A and B are shown apart, each in its own frame.
Chain A
């Protein structure tokens, strides 16, 4: 039964024109960034690396390769993708309540828990497809346009050079991690959707929550750094960067296949999964008790 309901939910998502806005937006942004880098790559490297590139003697052509462009694109747009996820997940229950289809749905011989879990799973599939789409354009598109070289990762006063043979699995890890983070956003939007009868409310609320916590995180003041930030989902959403921070040996050479702090990455992943389970559980409880009056 669950598979049937999941099929129905996915069918509804992908029959709606608005679903493709997110796919179109991602393709457009990625193509724009790639075009800009093709035309003004040098200026972008200075902007992106806070002019650190000048302090290291690496030829610009070597820095500006497909892998570097993909990391840059992830930095630029991954923080905005929650909005696109909220558009679908926030609409899941509240949108159906608004259009009146929720009462038709809730009168079917499917338990409310099954229905809600199917909706959550459909949102997760949407997130994964969105990220695969992004990977197609941002990673494979960039490799086609800019070629393949070692990846240079700039950090405050340091830089890591990752061998091109050691990069692909890191991107796969980063995209899987991003899927975890965006699924967490989907669960939050779904939770808000259960308690609303207008689709706009949970979508806007989700985006506002992400903005507020991002600002708190960026303030970097001790009061928030010690209390909120260690547990804030926005802190852990950026954990994907950890796949590109590598260990160095005594000679300062990066070690292939290593991650600088795998435990921090694991901890962030666990926190995101924890948030997801928390919001999904609250959504199930709320939806089971909900009187459908709309």
Chain B
């Protein structure tokens, strides 16, 4: 589904992403982890052509992103960092707008289904300026889904959500993957969240890949390393992450 080879981004002397390679298989929830400034957002921006790589190659669905940008992006839905939306537009209008971007005619029924799915149907006609951060996050997800993409790239999708919202988001991501066969790349600083939903994780530190493991193998490795502060399974990823990033 996605292959990244030798991806590098330099801003002057500073190397934000350094020779990064990884592969994401179809139907996976792929966790993307790293501390603040590790290069997660820069990588995601390169995957979405927001910034140009200094070196390296990105291939989606077997096609080069550089040569097939529009065709590839039409199959990707994304939330990049905090969901900044048009405050003067309603949720319905946002979905219509994104449908048009994808070359589709706005479909009221599909919009309503999506808004129902993310719990915003009752506020469909309210301006986004009146939404809370969590509501905007959920609308951004609906916008990402409006063109029925094969791949979702979600950068910190649980930001601003309350505990129930986080649980709903988690369930939605799992169901998109398991029931609709979508591939989801999720970047988050909430390690326990990633641990609960990801099939595989990539950990980057100072722009470099330090680990790429399935959750199953990672659990085994962590227990072999006899990591401390691992009282129960849900903390495995956190302990492993901290050991890799030098904490």
Contact = CB atoms under 8 A, between A and B. Distances in A.
Contact of B84 (A4, A8, A100): A100
Interface in B137-182: 140, 143
Interface stretch (A24-32, A47-55, A101-109, A253-261): A101-109
Interface stretch (A11-19, A79-87, A196-204): A11-19
Contacts of B50: 103, 106-107, 291-293
A17 B84 CA distance: 19
Interface stretch (B95-103, B117-125, B224-232): B95-103
A110 B101 CA distance: 7
B216 interface: no
A4 B101 contact: yes
Given A8-B101, A108-B73, A99 B84 contact: yes
Contacts of A5: 100-101
Contact of A109 (B87, B102, B143): B102
Interface string B79-113: 01111111111000100011011110000000000
B78 interface: yes
B69 interface: yes
Contacts of A291: 50-52
A104 B80 contact: yes
Contacts of A289: 52
Contacts of A110: 70, 101
Interface in B52-74: 52, 69-74
B49 interface: yes
A7 interface: yes
A215 interface: no
Contact of A17 (B70, B88, B97): B88
Nearest to B52: A291
Nearest to B77: A107
B41 to A, nearest CB: 9
A218 interface: no
A16 B73 contact: no
Contacts of A106: 48-50
B78 A8 contact: no
A107 B70 contact: no
B101 A15 contact: no
B84 A101 contact: yes
Nearest to A106: B50
Contacts of A77: none
Nearest to A112: B49
Contacts of B102: 108-109
A229 to B, nearest CB: 41
A196 B101 CA distance: 24
Interface residues of B, number: 33
B71 to A, nearest CB: 7
A17 B74 CA distance: 31
B51 A101 contact: no
A136 to B, nearest CB: 26
B73 A107 contact: yes
B234 interface: no
B45 interface: yes
Contacts of A212: none
B45 A111 contact: no
Interface in B12-55: 45, 48-52
Nearest to B85: A101
B97 to A, nearest CB: 6
A101 B81 CA distance: 11
A17 B86 CA distance: 12
Interface of B: 45, 48-52, 69-74, 76, 78, 80-89, 93, 97-98, 100-103, 140, 143
Given A109-B102, A293-B45, 9 more contacts: A4-B100, A8-B97, A16-B88, A99-B87, A100-B82, A104-B83, A107-B49, A111-B69, A289-B52
21 contacts: A8-B100, A11-B97, A12-B86, A15-B93, A16-B88, A100-B84, A103-B45, A103-B80, A104-B83, A104-B143, A107-B73, A108-B101, A109-B73, A110-B70, A111-B69, A291-B51, A292-B45, A292-B51, A293-B45, A293-B50, A293-B51
Interface of A: 1, 4-5, 7-8, 11-12, 15-17, 99-101, 103-104, 106-111, 289, 291-293
Nearest 10 interchain pairs by C-beta: A100-B84, A109-B74, A109-B73, A291-B51, A107-B48, A292-B50, A108-B101, A109-B70, A4-B100, A103-B80
